[in-house]
Chains A and B, each alone.
Chain A
Amino acid sequence: MEKFVFFLFATSLIGGGLGIFLAQRLLYKAFALLLVLLAVAALFVLLRADFVAASQIMVYVGGILILLVFSLLFSASTHQKAPPLPYWKLVAGLLTICIGTFVLFGIFNEVNFQTLHPTILPAETSSTQPIQTIRTIGITLFGTQTVAFELMGLFLLVVLAAVAWLLVEKEQ
């Protein structure tokens, strides 16, 4: 069952990659990108990384892709065709897709999905209980990683102050 699901999403991932690459219209490229992002999220679920899967959908599909499609709708006609790619970019892109396909099918052949578990989980998570990575992440963030977490707050403050400084013109 897991093998089948993996095969399904790996194939749609590769298909989406090819779609981004070969589609003529910009809007179709964006839809192919949607397929790629959703397939990646599904693969994360298969790896029992539910938090990463959720943030993948929220950040990339819900945020970045929507922005991308909006900017396409505002800036160009939806029928507009993408300029043809130069030769070396075509070769490089196809090569990347080949390597990705190779890796995915390597995983397909080698990995036993039934026994696949995240190795870093607290001992309290037994096999009968559903695995909750969010709980583990929360405990880690406010446990061992508190300093890093606080300093991420400082990082965001820097960004806020910087944006305010760059955008606001001083009144004369």
Chain B
Amino acid sequence: MLSIILLSVSGIASLFLGFNKSRSLLMPATLLFLLVALAVNLWDWNVPFTLSSAYNNGMMTVDKTTIVFSAILLVSALLVIPFSQNYIDRPQAQPAEYYAILLFALVGGIMMTAYDNLIMLFVGVEILSISMYVLAGSDKRNLRSTEAALKYFLMGAFATGFLLFGVALLYGATMSFSIKGIADYTNANVGNLSPLLYVGIVMVLIGVLFKVSAAPFHFWTPDVYEGSPSLFTAFMSTVVKTAGFAALYRLLAVSFTGLYDYWAMSIAVVALLTLVVGNITASHQHSFKRMMAYSGISHAGYLLIAVTAFQNTSQDAILFYSLAYSVATIAAFGVLILVADKQQGSEDFSAFNGLAKNNPFLAFVMTLAMCSLAGIPLTGGFFGKFLIFSSAFAKGGLNWLLIGAILMSAVGIYYYFKVVIAMYIREGKTEKIALTGLQQAAFVLSILLTLLLGVVPNLFADLV
């Protein structure tokens, strides 16, 4: 809760910093704001539950789960910001506005992880989405970027309509916007539930599944991810996805536990469909960025398996997987931003040819990120997948989904290693790429996190 206030204020502060002629202050200031917000977020760790929800009329909860989810969002933002250097050095850039919008977007993301009331969910989704529509189109001179923004906006508005209609129907059925009030209604009226409730659940689920780009609501993802500036694609594919899954799981776990049989099968089918569509389509892409978009879809599929499993361990699995996925994705996009800048903006696999010769560090970071995304042991991604699969196995009856998921992760190894092969084996010429100190720090932090998650997973898995 405090972190939301702090981020709103610091967003306004960074708008005011934009009056300053010098741009050199903006990035350090934003990083500082984010660090303070992270510290303030962790400050609430031992606050008893009742106290934290009392001062906002039961609109939000601050507990350990929401704190960890918010921390993942903030760490993702911290890792993304250093790569904005090349972007803000351009003469036409207006960095103050875009840092401010990033900070505001995080407010929306944190609301989505901690909401207790469907109004807060809606406002959170909207704050995050509006910011993302604008950031997707921030490269104003680029037609692809404008197209991405318009596509994202139209599709997103459509999904928001579904979400809002669903919320209205849930309210009509249960007379409550509070997710705990909805749970009370469903528990009190077992066997006699209003048909509006069922329609409402489906519509809310469609709205949220759209935001996390699960198939068949994924069709906007590749074009938007490819057209947006890579920096914001990194932000979109990590922060929006983590916040979306936090929101989805929170809604299902608090409100609709009693209706598991109603929604579980549809989520399971969506999970399998997402995995198949994401992985198969990713395997024949020429553009690295487009491949990452489809791989983002496929990771939504893995996370949906954890949602379907709905065990005590599922939430930990989602947390762990989101962190591992976010760190690896940001590292990969970081390398892409630096390489594409040297290769006249080319974002194909061929841009990486021979990268290892002159830039062994970048090639190593990329290899580790790809291993983590593919789920190779000793990286975070492996234990993320392991936790998700074991929670689904413990549930039982989901073996068909597990078999599909394991087959699809084998497909994943194929396309993730295409870029590794390009970097180490293909001939190519990339001159030495200079890194700023902050970029080095971000890479080192992501390497450390990926390896720590992979070697000593208990450090994180038992946290919540």
Interface residues of A (CB under 8 A from B): 119-120, 143-148, 151-152, 154-155, 157-159, 161-162, 164-166, 168, 170, 172
**CB-based closest 7 A-B pairs:** A162-B134, A165-B97, A147-B59, A144-B57, A147-B56, A148-B119, A158-B104
Tell me which of A120, A146, A155, A158 has the highest count of chain B C-beta atoms within 10 A of its own C-beta: A158
Cβ of A154 and Cβ of B57 under 8 Å apart? no
Cα(A146)–Cα(B117), bound, Å: 12
Could you show 15 A-B contacts with beta carbons less than 8 Å apart? A144-B57, A144-B59, A145-B119, A146-B56, A147-B57, A148-B119, A155-B127, A158-B101, A158-B104, A161-B101, A161-B104, A162-B97, A166-B140, A168-B94, A170-B92
Beyond A164-B97, A165-B138, A166-B134, 8 additional pairs, beta carbon < 8 A: A143-B57, A147-B56, A154-B104, A157-B12, A157-B104, A158-B104, A158-B127, A165-B98
Cα(A148)–Cα(B120), bound, Å: 6
Cβ of B123 and Cβ of A152 under 8 Å apart? yes
B111 at the interface (CB under 8 A from A): yes
Cβ of B119 and Cβ of A155 under 8 Å apart? no
Do A148 and B101 form a contact, CB below 8 Å, given A120-B175, A165-B94? no
CB-contact partner of A148 in B98, B123, B130, under 8 A: B123
Cβ of B59 and Cβ of A161 under 8 Å apart? no
Cβ of B126 and Cβ of A155 under 8 Å apart? yes
Cα(A155)–Cα(B111), bound, Å: 12
Interface size of B in residues (CB-CB distance below 8 Å):
34
B8 at the interface (CB under 8 A from A): yes
| Residues of B contacting A145 in the complex (Cβ-Cβ under 8 angstroms) | 57, 59, 119
CB-contact partner of B101 in A147, A162, A168, A172, under 8 A: A162
Main secondary structure, interface of B, reads helix
Do A165 and B117 form a contact, CB below 8 Å, given A119-B175, A151-B111? no
Do A162 and B130 form a contact, CB below 8 Å, given A147-B59, A151-B120? yes
Do A147 and B97 form a contact, CB below 8 Å, given A155-B127, A162-B130? no
| Interface positions of B from 400 to 456, Cβ below 8 Å from A | none
B137 at the interface (CB under 8 A from A): yes
The smallest C-beta distance from B4 to any residue of chain A, in angstroms, reads 8
B75-101 interface bits toward A, Cβ cutoff 8 Å, 1 = contact, 0 = none: 000000000000000011010011011
B346 at the interface (CB under 8 A from A): no
| Residues of B contacting A147 in the complex (Cβ-Cβ under 8 angstroms) | 56-57, 59-60, 120
A146's nearest neighbour on chain B, judged by CB, is: B57
B56's nearest neighbour on chain A, judged by CB, is: A147
CB-contact partner of A159 in B15, B56, B58, B130, under 8 A: B130
CB-contact partner of B117 in A148, A155, A157, under 8 A: A148
Cα(A154)–Cα(B137), bound, Å: 21
Cα(A148)–Cα(B130), bound, Å: 17
Cβ of B117 and Cβ of A158 under 8 Å apart? no
| Interface positions of B from 38 to 95, Cβ below 8 Å from A | 56-60, 91-92, 94
Cβ of A154 and Cβ of B8 under 8 Å apart? yes
Cβ of A155 and Cβ of B57 under 8 Å apart? no
CB-contact partner of A158 in B91, B131, B140, under 8 A: B131
B107 at the interface (CB under 8 A from A): yes
Cα(A158)–Cα(B107), bound, Å: 11
The smallest C-beta distance from B126 to any residue of chain A, in angstroms, reads 6
A168's nearest neighbour on chain B, judged by CB, is: B94
CB-contact partner of A165 in B8, B60, B127, B134, under 8 A: B134
